[in-house]
Amino acid sequence: MASAVLWRRGAAWLRSCRGNRREPPGVPRGRGCAGSRDVVPTCERYAVRRLPFARLEERDVAAFERLMPGRVVSAEEEVKPFNVDWLKSVRGCSQLVLKPQTTAEVSQVLRYCYERNLAVNPQGGNTGLVGGSVPVFDEIILSTALMNQVISFDKVSGILVCQAGCVLERLNEYLEEQGFIMPLDLGAKGSCHIGGNVATNAGGLRLLRYGSLRGTVLGLEVVLADGSALDCLMSLRKDNTGYDLKQLFIGSEGTLGVITAVSILCPQKPKAVNVAFLGCPSFAKVLETFTTCRAMLGEILSAYEFMDEKCMELVERHLKLSSPVADSPFYVLIETSGSNSTHDEEKLNNFLEQAMASGMVLWSLRERITEALTHEGYVYKYDISLPVAKLYNLVTDMRARLGQSAKNVVGYGHLGDGNLHLNITAESYSHSLLDAIEPFVYEWTARCSGSISAEHGLGFKKKQFIQYSKPREAVVLMQQFKAMLDPKGILNPYKTLPSAPERSTC
Amino acid sequence: MASAVLWRRGAAWLRSCRGNRREPPGVPRGRGCAGSRDVVPTCERYAVRRLPFARLEERDVAAFERLMPGRVVSAEEEVKPFNVDWLKSVRGCSQLVLKPQTTAEVSQVLRYCYERNLAVNPQGGNTGLVGGSVPVFDEIILSTALMNQVISFDKVSGILVCQAGCVLERLNEYLEEQGFIMPLDLGAKGSCHIGGNVATNAGGLRLLRYGSLRGTVLGLEVVLADGSALDCLMSLRKDNTGYDLKQLFIGSEGTLGVITAVSILCPQKPKAVNVAFLGCPSFAKVLETFTTCRAMLGEILSAYEFMDEKCMELVERHLKLSSPVADSPFYVLIETSGSNSTHDEEKLNNFLEQAMASGMVLWSLRERITEALTHEGYVYKYDISLPVAKLYNLVTDMRARLGQSAKNVVGYGHLGDGNLHLNITAESYSHSLLDAIEPFVYEWTARCSGSISAEHGLGFKKKQFIQYSKPREAVVLMQQFKAMLDPKGILNPYKTLPSAPERSTC
């Protein structure tokens, strides 16, 4: 099997590879992501109007100081990093960061803000990609940074209960010592908080194997807008007593309540991890291989990623990596995670033998596409869910549509999850190119019943596009839930939902 | 390995064993389940007051006949089976069954009923165990029996879209022909509808392996109380655009909307299925074995069930089955499902060798405990979720509490899911024995943060006990959701939620 490339290593190696898997910054309209200049305030760049919340006064700061002495941040320089997102694409003008340590303190803060009609921006690790984690105007930032305690871990059931501000990577390290892992993994794991992960229903790298947070999160503790605490922090795999309220808070991006604690089911740490790369002559073959792969690898398949030849060209050009085999139109990365290394290697070898027999060629490297893309100038990034059979058609159609006006139109992503990363590069930002891409990309996605945000959420930047993925009745119902749970609208305003019932956009 | 009992067979054998796995009937207060006499109407047996809904008139029947000619059932004998639950424990007095074929027809029916203030009881296969699937008074029965079409199945993604009235077993057969299975399996699969499964968030036999419906259901189409259709029928693994509304309908037992279509992620059909039975000297050993088992069997473990010696005694006495090994205080059933029979058998053998070395004894038969129990007279049945470490303490405590007043107090269940089936038998029904059991069993469960209904839901019979598993704030919020989505309360009234904010009961 001369052209086969197959790695078999421990989970530790894999983790180190994943350290730089984080998607590179998306690009806000009008400026590059790498700019070191001060970020233009959101309220200046975007046509957004401040809602009539109260304005922060000295007496408010004093009241918070009494509530949590020494954990009230108001010095401008100290507040600054909490106002700007990780992409440096949006910037709020908050004057105050609060760092509660307990649920009771979060309750007290929200009760106070609710009575005073002060808007609040809940913030975890501030690693969101759609502008959901920083203020738009002067919302008070409620940081979970000091709510970082593990409450309990049960080795028999694998159930972890912890505060919302625990950093994902710290939790995973804690669990690994006991033979378990977190059911999710992200490039941002070194700084993202589990509460933020749950609030944004983070997808990430383990979804194909362990499923979404909607299945693994067993319970939540949430503080509502008026300060009342809602205890749904069950640690049970099965509980059919009434409506599952916690689900409403998963993925609601801090607009319905502040998550203060999480109960989550953690899988055993896999004993064997293998990775392989393959070349495929067509996207149809990528799909066919996925089907074969699932049948032969079954329960140990933990990732099935794909990329096109354009991605490979960029990786070769900018990162000086060379292909060990002849060029192919498409490439696939396969990862397995199992409990028995001999069994897993045998399964993967059997699969590869069959894959080779049917004309596919092994090859390498998916990891650094995003890095290579940033060398190409300006990058327009889209994160789309589509039925897998149609997944690549969007890239082909976009390429045909844009012709010479784009430098590159490339596609890659988590095929196993039906998640495409569509990237378009040009020498520099151009409003006319953007107009050629949008709303075409959203309309195309809507026609295929896809999702315009697979895993990043809507936040501030995409909320006006929700109607491309959700019918009007659903949006109206969401607005009713928001109005019921947060009648004054103080929680993470200007995010997730259009502020008034939208006229149809698609 | 003389005392080892290990089966290795195809899935077909396993299915045939599972045909009689259905829990035997629970016993309503005051009468045995096996009675062939007419069931006492619910409104006579229970202290329940009819709400001021309109009463059915001739003109209503005529209107429905115009909507769906020939699919309106009003003859008393034909309506009768729709009024009585599978356990023959509750009985409604409905005069009308409607059998729509399309979502549009469901919309028209509900719009009509909403305007007329007529109460509606949505009904799938009528296999519920808590009185949620039949009317309490004269609610119109809206049956999904004729909504039984598969809409689509995508072999690449494994996503099935179908109408709500599809019978679970038919769906599984349809999928098996294409190398897939449904992610859930129940004893009632021959008659239960997938819409009813989703509406009750059914657990069943595959939960340990494939997770709950909250992760596998990808989309729902729902008709709300006022007749408006809500299309959340996405077929995407990832979609973070706004609140996940479908979750609210999963497990809401038909009280928030009528599910008309389901999109669900289906796993590959396992190629190898193995079953083994073990004896354990203590419940602590059952737990220790579970930990070892998960580590060694990992991804192929699909069931971990336990039973105590009392269960075995009953099986031996009533079913003339004999134990192939010496008696043990506890027994464990382990099932594996994987993609490679050689690998799976090897894993199981490795595990069994280690299990034997640490002093456990293999043994057989969990399947027929429930059948044996019905030979003992009157059975009080409870379906409880608990932290696994405390799971058996409830049985021990109950046994000590009841002493000679109970004939048997036995425990068994899905330990892998933290789900205990507690069964208490006596010669005949006794109100004083019931008073000794309840509310003690609920109070005990609440003290351990357990759930008083692991998988059966609350329905009509358990709704007054919800506060043992949910805090008052959560119940109030559920009532607000109900009021928002169904302001007239016409959908499955008298079910799931207490009708007014409850005074604290625990």
Higher local confidence (pLDDT), A305 or A441? A441
Say what the pLDDT of residue A412 is: 87
ipTM for this model: 0.84
On the question of pLDDT at A35 being above 50, the answer is: no
On the question of pLDDT at A23 being above 80, the answer is: no
Which of B 58-117 lie inside 8 A of A, CB atoms?
none
Least CB–CB distance from A298: residue in B338, B458, B477: B338
Say what the pLDDT of residue A399 is: 94
User: What's the whole-number mean pLDDT along residues B54-71?
Assistant: 98
Least CB–CB distance from A235: residue in B203, B212, B449: B449
Among B285, B302, B117, CA closest to B206: B302
On the question of pLDDT at B11 being above 70, the answer is: no
Which of A 325-344 lie inside 8 A of B, CB atoms?
338-340, 343
Higher local confidence (pLDDT), A467 or A30? A467
Domain with CATH 3.30.43.10 in chain A: 42-143
Q: Which CATH class is domain A150-265?
A: alpha beta
User: What's the whole-number mean pLDDT along residues A282-293?
Assistant: 88
Residues of B in contact with A346 (CB under 8 A): 340, 343
For residue range A423-445, what is the model confidence (pLDDT) as tens digits? Answer: 899 988 788 998 999 999 999 99
Domain with CATH 3.30.465.10 in chain A: 150-265
User: pLDDT class for B302, splitting at 50, 70, 90?
Assistant: confident
Say what the pLDDT of residue B506 is: 32
Among A227, A400, A371, CA closest to A311: A371
Say what the pLDDT of residue A121 is: 98
Residue appearing with tokens 């062939």? B36
On the question of pLDDT at B439 being above 60, the answer is: yes
Higher local confidence (pLDDT), B499 or B160? B160
User: pLDDT class for B376, splitting at 50, 70, 90?
Assistant: confident
Say what the pLDDT of residue A27 is: 32
Q: What is the mean pLDDT of chain A?
A: 85
d(CA A449, nearest CA chain B) in Å: 7
Half-sphere exposure of A363 (CA within 13 A, CB side): 27
On the question of pLDDT at B28 being above 60, the answer is: no
- Tokens coding A212: 């979404």
User: What's the whole-number mean pLDDT along residues B66-77?
Assistant: 97
For residue range B143-176, what is the model confidence (pLDDT) as tens digits? Answer: 999 999 999 999 888 999 999 999 999 999 999 9
Say what the pLDDT of residue A272 is: 82
Residues of B in contact with A506 (CB under 8 A): none
Q: Identify the closest residue of chain B to A477 by CA–CA distance.
A: B245
Optimal mutation site among B180, B237, B344, interface A, most CBs of chain A within 10 A: B237
Instruction: Indicate if the alpha-carbon torsion angle B67, B73, B79, B84 is positive or negative.
Output: negative
Higher local confidence (pLDDT), A322 or B426? B426
Which of A 272-301 lie inside 8 A of B, CB atoms?
287, 290-291, 294-300
Q: Calculate Rg over the CA atoms of chain B.
A: 23
What's the start-to-end Cα distance of chain A, in Å? Answer: 51
Among A496, A497, A498, CA closest to A200: A496
Optimal mutation site among B201, B213, B228, B236, interface A, most CBs of chain A within 10 A: B236
Say what the pLDDT of residue B364 is: 41
On the question of pLDDT at A342 being above 90, the answer is: no
Say what the pLDDT of residue B77 is: 95
Q: Which CATH class is domain B42-143?
A: alpha beta
Contact of A156 with chain B, judged by CB distance below 8 Å, is answered with yes
For residue B220, give the DSSP letter.
Answer: E
On the question of pLDDT at B380 being above 90, the answer is: no
Q: Do residue B236 and residue A387 have CB atoms under 8 angstroms apart? A: yes
Angle at A503 between CA A498 and CA A505, to 5 degrees: 90
Say what the pLDDT of residue B326 is: 60
d(CA A489, CA A484): 10
Say what the pLDDT of residue A46 is: 85
Range in A324-338, B91-105, B477-491 with the lowest mean pLDDT? A324-338
Query: Quick one: residue A278, left, alpha or beta (phi over 0 = left, psi -120 to 50 = alpha)?
Result: beta
Cross-strand partners of B411: B422
On the question of pLDDT at B97 being above 90, the answer is: yes
Least CB–CB distance from A244: residue in B251, B387, B497: B251
* Bridge pairing between strands A301-308 and B5-9: unpaired
Tell me the percentage of chain B whose pLDDT exceeds 90. 53
Residues of A in contact with B383 (CB under 8 A): none
User: pLDDT class for B344, splitting at 50, 70, 90?
Assistant: confident
Q: Which fold has domain A271-447?
A: Alpha-Beta Plaits (3.30.70)
For residue range B197-241, what is the model confidence (pLDDT) as tens digits? Answer: 999 999 877 888 899 999 999 999 999 999 999 999 988 888 999
Q: What is the mean pLDDT of chain B?
A: 85
Highest mean pLDDT: which of A166-170, B348-352, B451-455?
A: A166-170
Half-sphere exposure of B98 (CA within 13 A, CB side): 29
Contact of A178 with chain B, judged by CB distance below 8 Å, is answered with no
Report yes or no: B340 and B268 within 8 Å, Cβ to Cβ.
no
Contact of B207 with chain A, judged by CB distance below 8 Å, is answered with yes
Say what the pLDDT of residue B325 is: 57
Domain with CATH 3.30.70.2190 in chain A: 271-447
Q: Do residue A454 and residue B238 have CB atoms under 8 angstroms apart? A: yes
For residue range A99-144, what is the model confidence (pLDDT) as tens digits? Answer: 999 999 999 999 999 999 999 999 999 998 889 999 999 999 999 9
Cis upstream peptide for A122 (omega within 30°):
no
Angle at A92 between CA A88 and CA A97, to 5 degrees: 110
Say what the pLDDT of residue A367 is: 54
User: What's the whole-number mean pLDDT along residues B81-86?
Assistant: 94
- Name, in order, each residue with C-beta under 8 angstroms of A417's C-beta and a sequence gap of 6 or more: A203, A207, A208, A385, A454, B237, B238
User: pLDDT class for A302, splitting at 50, 70, 90?
Assistant: confident
User: pLDDT class for B357, splitting at 50, 70, 90?
Assistant: low
Say what the pLDDT of residue B350 is: 79
Say what the pLDDT of residue A338 is: 84
Optimal mutation site among B159, B214, B224, B239, interface A, most CBs of chain A within 10 A: B239
Say what the pLDDT of residue A349 is: 79
On the question of pLDDT at A499 being above 80, the answer is: no
Residues of A in contact with B252 (CB under 8 A): 243
Say what the pLDDT of residue B29 is: 34
User: What's the whole-number mean pLDDT along residues A26-34?
Assistant: 33
C-beta atoms surrounding B324 within 10 Å: 15
For residue range A385-395, what is the model confidence (pLDDT) as tens digits? Answer: 998 888 899 99
Which of B 474-493 lie inside 8 A of A, CB atoms?
474-475, 477-478, 480-481, 484
d(CA B434, CA B381): 11
On the question of pLDDT at A366 being above 60, the answer is: no
Say what the pLDDT of residue A389 is: 83
Say what the pLDDT of residue B500 is: 62
